[in-house]
Amino acid sequence: MKFLNLVHYFEKLEATSKRLEMFAILSDLFQQANAEEIDKIIYLAQGELLPPFHGINIGMSEKYLLRALAKAGDVDPEMIAKQYRIVGDLGGLAEKVIHGEGKGLTVAEVYERIDAIATMSGEGSVERKIDAVCELIGAVSPLEAKYVARFMAGKLRLGAGDATILEALALSKGDRAYRKELDRAYNITSDLGLVAKTLYQAGEEGIRAMSVRMGYPIRPALCERLSSAEEIVEKIGRCSVEVKYDGLRCQIHKSKNDLAIFSRNQERTTPMFPEIAEACRNLFREQEIIIEGEALAFNEATGDLLPFQITSQRKRKHGIEDMAKAFPLKFFVFDLLYLNGEDYTHHGYAQRRKKLFELIKKNPVMEVSHAIETEDPVEIQKFFDASIERGLEGIVAKRLDGPYAAGSRNFNWIKLKRSYKGALSDSVDLVIVGYFAGKGHRAKFGIGTILSAVYDPGEDRFKTVTRIGTGFSEEELVQLKQLLDEEAAPERPHPVDSEITPDVWVNPKYVITVTADEITRSPNHTAGRDADGIGYALRFPRVQGFIRTDKSPRDATTVSEIIDMFNLQKRVKME
């Protein structure tokens, strides 16, 4: 496929925010693609070269891109920098500056050139990159240059989230029945390009045959919520009740010669956990294994687990070795997903856990998560109380025969967290979609309240649920303003659904954890709107901590979780 053809589809995508239209445009695009290019088309449409877990960052600084643009268009760099300050969009600027007809490059050619630029490193690589971008932009037409420039700046936002791509892929094969299989394949590999390529090369059979792969993070299984031990037993009967540790979730892939650790949102975090990586290498030597667990700081002398604020200090680039000495981590393993060629996600929980006990021999860093097996609500309550007393978050009850439900939240796992009187029993994770400048003493920070949203996976959109005014320190407000302004959008971003218009729209990128007093019905917010236009809203929301880096916007709390929490809250109130 010619790159220009792809760009025409990008133009159509940009012009709509209607989901059905997006599905139609994308599925039409996918039908034009062959098996060699479908993966590249999907990555490019999402503004990436490869899935995020590869950790490739193409985002070139504006300064260098402007230089490349000036050179390619043979215009004065000063003039172009000035224009950029007015227009604010590198893509629009590139379209104006470039005049040629282009060489008719294919998608694969453009992809390869960008890939080559992204992987340039070492001495003089900045100049080489600028030259290569200049050459690429010089070889395409103005419209193509618009998208190349945005892509290179990391600012290509077509609103095609993973759920949208999956739906369009299923549609492109003319059969929505594919969707379930495609979802499963995606949830166990986190690689949409690979899934699409497999579909194109080997059809539905190929998709069905896909299984867990070493080095491809498996999307996490998540917990449903219930509000009492009785409800848990009623729902899943005899179960395993594990401690819910409040640390950092890690998925470790250890092959014979390699080891990678992935965060909850599939980012590579290996360098943050040297002691856990070493313990894994020593323990599993020749084994190929994927395990999952929670890493927590602990006091070596007393064995006490330390609060999340201390564990989370690991999330840094420098000084990790010192941190590891000051606050060593313990790794509580709660699942086994793969062992020596065998995909364990299909096996029942009890079988996976039994194997974990066989594999994890006594060592100072790693142990299997603590649990009891019971069908007695009184025992569950006692275990819960004891966990809370130890300063832990609560418990996770697990269905004994439940497979590992990659990428989904269901009643195989049920969490019960500490709840404070009058407050919502669980925090929610919201996406910032805009802010208001603020009045009074807040005006000096430029941010008064934040407009926040939950995620609707069915529509692949973000729907507002509250405005939050409190919870950040003055320093945090300054930092927040800077981060949000980098993501500011001139108008409502397509994936955002909102009745409220903030002073500044923000592209959905940042997730914050929020507690509130309760969930109410509200005509002002779009989350869960019914036919009468009444949605759901959080009452008295407060931010906990700062931005949550282990969750991507599409990992935020969903609309259906808010509705479930609203119903749970009603039940608790009635008791």
- Using rule CB under 6 A, residue 249 touches ligand ATP: yes
Supply the DSSP symbol for 57: -
Please give the structure tokens belonging to residue 115.
Answer: 């890939």
Q: What is the nearest approach in angstroms of ligand ATP to the Cβ of residue 85?
A: 40
Applying CB under 6 A, the site for ligand ATP has a residue count of: 14
Spell out, one character per residue from 253 to 292, where the chain touches ligand ATP: x when CB under 6 A holds, - when not: -----------x----------------------------
Element (H, E) at 395: strand 394-399
Find the catalytic residue in 244, 254, 330, 417.
244
Q: Are 241 and 374 a contacting pair, CB within 8 Å?
A: yes
Least distance (Å) between residue 428 CB and ligand ATP: 8
Interstrand relation of 239-244 and 542-547 (parallel, antiparallel or unpaired): unpaired
CB contact at 8 A, 400 and 414:
no
Comparing CB distances to ligand ATP, the nearer of 151 and 334 is 334
In the list 396, 416, 527, 565, the residue contacting ligand ATP (rule: CB under 6 A) is 396
In this structure, which amino acid lies at residue 84?
Answer: Y
Establish if 244 lies at the interface with ligand ATP (CB under 6 A): yes
By three-state DSSP, how is residue 333 classified? strand
User: Could you say which of 162, 294, 460, 487 contacts ligand ATP (CB under 6 A)?
Assistant: 294
244 in catalytic set: yes
C-alpha distances in Å from residue 333, one per residue of 366, 368, 377, 388: 7, 5, 25, 20
Q: Among 467, 492, 491, 471, which residue's Cα sits nearest to residue 480? A: 471
Judge contact between 107 and 2, C-beta under 8 A. yes
Gap between the Cα atoms of 532 and 381, Å rounded? 41
Q: Does 10 bind ligand ATP (CB under 6 A)?
A: no
* Rounded CA separation 147/153 (Å): 10
Give the interface segment with ligand ATP, choosing from 29-37, 141-149, 160-168, 239-247 (CB under 6 A): 239-247
Place of tokens 């909850």: 264
Q: Is 48 annotated for ligand binding?
A: no
Least CB distance to ligand ATP at residue 332 (A) = 7
Residues 308-337 that bind ligand ATP (CB under 6 A): 334
DSSP string, 529-541: --TTS-EEEEES-
Task: Report the distance separating Cα 224 and Cα 228, nearest Å.
Answer: 12
Among 189, 369, 412, 466, binds ligand ATP (CB under 6 A): 369
Of the candidate residues 245, 344, 384, 435, the single one contacting ligand ATP (CB under 6 A): 245
Contact 436, 501 (CB under 8 A): no
Question: Considering beta carbons, is residue 309 or 482 the nearer one to ligand ATP?
Answer: 309
Considering beta carbons, is residue 253 or 264 the nearer one to ligand ATP?
264
Question: Whose Cβ is closer to ligand ATP: residue 159's or residue 217's?
Answer: 217
Q: Is 505 in the site for ligand ATP (CB under 6 A)?
A: no
Quickly tell me which residue has 């943050």 as its tokens: 272
Q: Does 384 bind ligand ATP (CB under 6 A)?
A: no
Among 134, 223, 259, 276, binds ligand ATP (CB under 6 A): 223
Does 224 show up as a binding residue in the annotation?
no
Span 517-556, contacts to ligand ATP by CB under 6 A: none
415 annotated ligand binder: yes
Amino acid at 438: G
Angle at 91 between CA 87 and CA 93, to 5 degrees: 50
Query: Closest approach of Cβ 222 to ligand ATP, in Å?
Result: 3
Question: Looking at beta carbons only, is 158 or 392 nearer to ligand ATP?
Answer: 392
Rounded to the nearest whole angstrom, what is the least distance from the CB of residue 353 to ligand ATP in the complex? 11
Query: CB-wise, 244 or 253, nearer to ligand ATP?
Result: 244
d(CA 114, CA 429): 35
Identify whether the C-beta of residue 168 lies closer than 8 Å to the C-beta of residue 26: yes
User: Mind giving me the DSSP string for 254-293?
Assistant: E-SS-EEEE-TTS-B-GGG-HHHHHHHHHHHTT--EEEEE
Residues at the site binding ligand ATP, with contacts judged by CB under 6 A: 220, 222-223, 242-245, 249, 264, 294, 334, 369, 396, 415
What residues form the annotated binding site?
242, 249, 264, 294, 334, 409, 415
Residues serving a catalytic function are: 244
What residues form the annotated binding site for ATP?
242, 249, 264, 294, 334, 409, 415
